[in-house]
Amino acid sequence: GEEREISLKTGEAVVAALETLGHTVTRVFAGPGLDRALRSAELDVAFLALHGRMGEDGRVQGLLELLELPYTGSGVLASALAMDKPMAKKLFQLHNLATPRGYKVGRADVERALELHGDSGFPCVVKPAKGGSSVGLSVVHDAGALVPAVAHACRFGGEALVERFVQGQEVTVGILGDSVLGSCEVAFPREGFDYEAKYKGGAQYFLPPRLSDTRRVNVETLALAAYRALGCRGYGRVDVLCSDTENDVVLEVNTLPGFTPVSLLPKIAARAGLDFPELVQGVLDRATRDEAHVSDAARS
């Protein structure tokens, strides 16, 4: 997938930390034959170092459920909901959590993007409906740039999400278990925290965010509510925009956030007093599975 490079970096960082902690680690690379590789590895638990489609959207989680193998992070349903940004937005709205207004455009409707956009106005943000690491993200300022941006986003999964642009501070909130670890403001020299800014430099980080204590607590409370609304567990990272003029809004929930040297959750954990191996162990300690069973009621 398009996030393979980041997944490999996360994996190597996690392996190093687990080995430092004294665990015996087997690397299992996701791809064709993953089920056979998992069966032959004789694992006690799967520490997921996957980002994006296939690894973070519930598919690998479903395979691990079938293999009755505990794994880190959220379960099948929460993973699928969080990865599907338009569906996640519906859940946020159901729970009365503010999120930018938006709509979905499929590959077949790319040329109708302007018609679907209607009076939504500009600027707007266009990104893949299912994906992460800000791959395929664009900020669109006029009608002429909308169709190309939607077509570009549709390259990553076949669907794009178009959202109203919200001016403000981007704050990401780290969660371990069911508790907030802290938050970090991400400031960048150009619009949109895209892949280049995220992984190749240029971004600035403020821990804690440049917010009043009251507003920071409110943002962290909003993030935890979004995490719970999707049924997440284990750990996660929630992205929030702190609007200059309006309410704070939830952008998305990351169920398998990065563990690379420049990743945000480890930065947040470090400020909370958890070094990288301690954070990895904390995630590992919360590994589980859904353990759903068919009821005997139908046979009674």
| Catalytic-labelled residue, pool 7, 74, 79, 133 | 133
The Cα–Cα gap between 202 and 12 comes to 24
> What's the rounded Cα separation, in Å, for the pair 224 and 174?
9
Question: How far, in Å, CA of 242 to CA of 260, rounded?
Answer: 25
Q: Which residue has the tokens 């569906």?
A: 87
| Integer angstrom CA distances of residue 248 from 155, 195, 211 | 30, 23, 12
Chain Cα centroid distance, residue 53: 11
**Among 53-67, 169-183, 197-211, where is mean pLDDT lowest?**
197-211
Q: Does the pLDDT of residue 284 top 60, yes or no? A: yes
pLDDT at 297 over 60: no
119 given a catalytic annotation? no
How far apart, in whole angstroms, are the C-alpha atoms of residue 222 and residue 165? Answer: 19
Residue type at position 296: D
CB atoms inside a 10 Å sphere around CB 221? 13
- State residue 299's pLDDT score: 52
Q: Is 239 a catalytic residue?
A: yes
Decide the pairing of beta strands 179-187 and 138-140.
unpaired
The answer, yes or no, to whether residue 170 has pLDDT greater than 50, is: yes
If you write DSSP's letter for every residue of 87-139 in order, what string do you get? HHHHHHHHTT-----EEEEEGGGGGGHHHHHTT--SSEEEEESB--TTTT-EE
Q: What is the mean pLDDT of the chain?
A: 91
Q: Which residue in the list 2, 56, 239, 248 is annotated as catalytic?
A: 239
* Neighbouring-strand partners of residue 254: 237
Q: Active site residue: 74, 79, 254, 263, which one?
A: 254
CB atoms within 10 A of CB 202: 14
Q: Is the pLDDT of residue 1 over 80?
A: no
Options 199, 216, 220, 234, the catalytic residue? 199
79 is catalytic: no
Residue of 2, 3, 56, 248 marked catalytic: 3
pLDDT at 198 over 90: no
At 54 the pLDDT is 83
Q: What pLDDT shows up at residue 244?
A: 84
Indicate if 252 belongs to the active site.
yes
Residue type at 132?
Answer: G
- Active-site residue, 247 included: no
243 is catalytic: no
> Tokens 């809004």 label which residue?
249
Tell which wins on pLDDT, 74 or 156.
74
Task: Please give the pLDDT value at position 261.
Answer: 73
**Number of CB atoms found within 10 A of residue 198's CB:** 23
On the question of pLDDT at 221 being above 80, the answer is yes
* H or E element, residue 244: none
Is 177 or 6 the better-scoring residue by pLDDT?
A: 177
| Mean pLDDT along residues 151-165 | 94
Instruction: Report residue 291's pLDDT band, with 50, 70 and 90 as the boundaries.
Output: confident
pLDDT at 193: 46
Residue 9: CA count within 13 A, CB half-sphere:
13
With vertex at residue 163, the alpha carbon angle to CA 174 and CA 143, rounded to the nearest 5 degrees, is: 145
Note the pLDDT tens digit of each residue in 264-273.
999 999 999 9
Least confident of 83-92, 115-124, 241-250: 241-250
Report whether pLDDT(133) > 60: no
The residue from 73, 237, 248, 289 that is catalytic is 237
Amino acid of residue 182: G
Inter-CA distances, 57 with 80, 143, 186, Å: 4, 32, 25
Instruction: Measure the CA–CA gap between 1 and 5, rounded to whole angstroms.
Output: 9
pLDDT digits (tens, 9 = 90+) for 225-264: 999 999 999 999 999 999 988 789 999 999 999 998 789 9
pLDDT band at 294 (very low <50, low <70, confident <90, very high): low
pLDDT on residue 160 = 96
Q: Give phi and psi for 29, each to the nearest 5.
A: -90, 130
Q: Distance between CA 185 and CA 188 in Å, rounded?
A: 10
Beta bridge partners of residue 163, listed in sequence order: 102, 125
Please state, in angstroms and as integers, the Cα–Cα distance from residue 70 to each residue in 89, 140, 229, 230, 278, following that order.
Answer: 28, 42, 23, 20, 20
